[in-house]
């Protein structure tokens, strides 16, 4: 890919990577570069960045094969912890959720649930499923982005983490009542995940949410 | 003027806070023998023994002037039942003898209240790291919301339990920190971030096993700190990006570790957030946090009759209404 040779314009700063906009031929692409963290021990830092870049690229590709809407990989440069992917035009859910009508929001979450069901039944978990990592296109379709914590797993525990974190991100970042959104999410999820996965994943999500400190009843 | 009584775990403390200013803060901490954790009954016996003296000192100024508190606040939970009951009993007795209102306080909320008062924070991402909590919280819709926390044991537990296993002099946190300064080899220990939560039990077990198999204690301490703190720092960084706060406040006794502080400060700086860490004398459990929180809660109508002044050993941060945040 030769990310170093692309003309890049800063686009977004995430928790662990910088994103740039660029073009490869006529494709508008996003270049994602995992940056070194000053707080982290250097060898740990290198290990985490390399592992996550490689697993991100392969799980994102597998997710698409499972029917999930996600950007397509256009190039990888492992030695600089960089890869590029197709640009998805839209707004992140973190920014647009609170401005949506209740009906728009539940429709979005039902579609999202169906997509996560496909991901999970395809043997993949996202690992960082928050409203910051869901793009909403102009047609109001959800796209999953940022597969940095994603991995291949069919463990109900890992699926439960996805569902739990998505709920937490609504409760901590949005003014909207989470319960109708979670209900819509479950409706969509049940349609694509199949009954067995649906039941075990949500049971785990409930269990995980009660693992925190000082719950009176577990 | 509020008198606050703390007795959730190893510390019995009393403090006078007036108009947001800490006037006195007197604390005595139970220290178990090396290699042994806090026994709740032993700690409560310690609290009974010191309570009279601690309260007497707290309500007296250095020049002998006696304070007359308008409110009596006590830590109602979460914490060790036998210890909580000592503080509550002392508070009830004072409230009924002095005929003053009794205000129950959540110990964790109080950690954040004193941190925000001292640090002049308005609406921060709060990182609470103590023996009882390891959590990232933001205030939304009237309550502190936990965005990430430990799924098993706290960071305080990790350091204490490793210290006991390796027979280091208590408190474990300080011993591990001192030894870690002399270590430099990063051992291969498990790094577990699940979503925005961390899990520490596997890391502790692996570190203890490495120590027993003969790895140098300095290197184990160094690696334990690097991995455990990196996990937390990563979760804090993700929390900061998702919740978009521009202030980070770090509270709780374990926050005294200078390597951890350096890492969290670096995360905040990277995201242009202001950083505040509670000074050591107020970061551990103390009466001042309870007095500070009690004053705020009372202004917002919190009080309880003697008959209803229960203690709540298990009490989640996100079960408490906190209308005094964001601060003005």
Q: Which two tokens stand for residue A159?
A: 């699926």
Give domain limits for chain A.
3-86, 90-209
Residue pair A69/A144 in contact (Cβ under 8 Å)? The answer is yes
Chains A, B: CB contacts within 8 A come to 108
Could you tell me which chain B residue has the CA closest to the CA of A167? B147
B293 versus A212: which is more confidently predicted?
B293
CATH number of A3-86: 3.30.200.20
Residues B32, B40: contact at Cβ < 8 Å?
A: no
Query: Nearest Cβ partner of A173 from B197, B233, B242?
Result: B242
Q: What is the mean pLDDT of chain A?
A: 93
Q: What is the DSSP string of B291-319?
A: HHHHHHHHHTT--B-GGG----SS--GGG
Question: Chain-centre distance of CA B213, in angstroms?
Answer: 33
Nearest CA in chain A to B107: A214
Interface check for A130 against chain B (CB to CB < 8 A): the answer is yes
**What percent of chain A has a predicted confidence (pLDDT) above 70?**
97
pLDDT given for residue B166 in this prediction: 94
Contacts of A38 in chain B (CB under 8 A): 266, 270
Closest CA to B152 of B167, B139, B135: B135
Question: Distance, in angstroms, between A132 CA and closest chain B CA?
Answer: 6
> Are the beta carbons of B128 and B301 closer than 8 angstroms?
no
Complex ipTM value:
0.89
The 10s digit of each residue's pLDDT in A186-208 is 999 999 999 999 999 999 999 99
CA distance A19 to A182: 30
CB contact under 8 A, B241 and A14: yes
Please give the positions of A annotated as active site: 128
Q: B59-96, pLDDT tens digit by residue?
A: 998 888 999 999 999 999 999 999 999 999 999 999 99
What local confidence, expressed as pLDDT, does residue B328 receive? 83
Q: Give me the domains of chain B, ranges plus CATH numbers.
A: 2-111+285-319 (3.30.420.40), 123-281 (3.30.420.40)
**Residue B145 to chain A, least CA–CA distance (Å):** 6
Give the whole-number percent of chain B exceeding pLDDT 90: 90
Model confidence at B57, pLDDT cuts 50, 70, 90, reads: very high
Average pLDDT of span A73-89: 94
- Residue B140 sits at the chain A interface (C-beta within 8 Å): yes
Q: Supply the pTM of this predicted model.
A: 0.92
Give A116-154 pLDDT, tens digit per residue: 999 999 999 999 999 999 999 999 999 999 999 999 999
Q: How confident is the model at residue A214 (pLDDT cuts 50, 70, 90)?
A: confident
Whether A190 contacts chain B with CB within 8 A: no
Q: Are A96 and A136 in contact (CB under 8 A)?
A: yes
pLDDT, position B96: 96
What average pLDDT is seen over chain B?
95
Give the C-alpha separation, A20 to A33, whole Å: 8
Say if residue B220's pLDDT is above 90.
yes
Question: Into which CATH architecture does domain A90-209 fall?
Answer: Orthogonal Bundle (1.10)
Can you tell me the distance from the alpha carbon of B213 to that of A124, in angstroms, rounded to the nearest whole number?
36
Residue A5 has pLDDT above 80, yes or no: no
Please judge whether A212 and B267 are an interchain contact, meaning their C-beta atoms are less than 8 angstroms apart.
no
How large is the average pLDDT for residues A97-116? Answer: 97
Compute the average pLDDT of residues B24-44.
91
Contacts of A131 in chain B (CB under 8 A): 242
Q: Which among B149, B267, B314 has CB closest to A39?
A: B267
Q: Which residue of B has its CA nearest to A39?
A: B263
């Amino acid at each position: 890919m030769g990310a170093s040779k692309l003309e890049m314009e800063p686009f977004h700063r995430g928790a662990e990577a910088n994103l740039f906009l660029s073009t490869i031929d006529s494709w508008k692409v996003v270049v994602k570069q995992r940056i070194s963290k000053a707080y982290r021990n250097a060898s740990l830092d290198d290990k985490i960045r390399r592992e996550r870049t490689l697993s991100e690229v392969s799980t994102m590709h597998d997710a698409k094969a499972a029917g999930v809407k996600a950007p397509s990989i256009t190039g990888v440069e492992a030695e600089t912890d960089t890869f590029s992917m197709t640009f998805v035009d839209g707004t992140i859910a973190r920014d647009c959720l609170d401005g949506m009508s209740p009906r728009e929001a539940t429709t979005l979450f039902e579609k999202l649930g169906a997509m996560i069901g496909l991901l999970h039944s395809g043997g993949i978990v996202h690992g960082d499923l928050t409203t910051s990592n869901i793009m909403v296109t102009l047609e109001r379709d959800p796209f999953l982005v940022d597969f940095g914590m994603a991995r291949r797993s069919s463990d109900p525990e890992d699926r439960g983490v996805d569902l739990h974190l998505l709920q937490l991100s609504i409760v901590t970042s949005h003014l909207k009542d989470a319960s109708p959104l979670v209900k819509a999410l479950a409706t969509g999820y049940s349609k694509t995940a199949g009954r067995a996965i649906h039941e075990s994943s949500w049971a785990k999500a409930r269990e995980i949410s009660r693992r925190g400190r000082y719950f009176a009843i577990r | 003027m509020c008198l606050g009584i703390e007795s959730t775990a190893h510390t019995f403390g009393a403090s006078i806070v007036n108009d947001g200013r800490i006037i006195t803060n007197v604390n005595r901490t139970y220290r178990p023998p090396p290699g042994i954790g806090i026994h709740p009954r032993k700690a409560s016996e310690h609290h009974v023994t010191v309570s009279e003296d601690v309260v007497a000192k707290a309500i007296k100024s250095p020049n002998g002037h006696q304070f007359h508190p308008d409110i009596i606040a006590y830590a109602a939970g979460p914490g060790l039942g036998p210890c909580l009951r000592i503080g509550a009993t002392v508070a009830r007795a004072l409230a009924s003898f002095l005929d003053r209102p009794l205000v129950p306080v959540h110990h964790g909320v109080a950690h954040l209240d004193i941190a925000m008062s001292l640090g002049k924070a308005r609406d921060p991402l709060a990182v609470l790291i103590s023996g009882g909590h390891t959590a990232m919280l933001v205030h939304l819709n009237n309550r502190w919301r936990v965005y990430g926390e430990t799924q098993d044991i706290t960071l305080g537990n990790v350091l204490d339990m490793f210290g006991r296993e390796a027979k280091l002099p208590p408190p474990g946190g300080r011993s591990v920190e001192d030894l870690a300064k002399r270590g430099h080899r990063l051992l291969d220990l498990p790094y577990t971030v699940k979503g925005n939560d961390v899990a520490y039990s596997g890391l502790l077990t692996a570190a203890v096993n490495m120590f027993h198999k003969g790895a140098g204690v300095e290197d184990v301490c160094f690696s334990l700190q690097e991995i455990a703190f990196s996990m937390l720092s990563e979760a804090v960084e993700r929390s900061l990006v998702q919740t978009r706060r521009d202030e980070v406040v770090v509270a709780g006794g374990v926050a005294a570790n200078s390597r951890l502080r350096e890492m969290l400060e670096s995360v905040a700086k990277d995201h242009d957030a202001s950083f505040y860490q509670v000074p050591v004398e107020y970061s551990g459990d103390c009466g001042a946090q309870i007095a500070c929180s009690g004053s705020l809660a009372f202004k917002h109508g919190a009080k309880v009759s003697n008959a209803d002044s229960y203690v709540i050993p298990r009490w989640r941060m996100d079960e408490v209404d906190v209308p005094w945040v964001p601060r003005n």
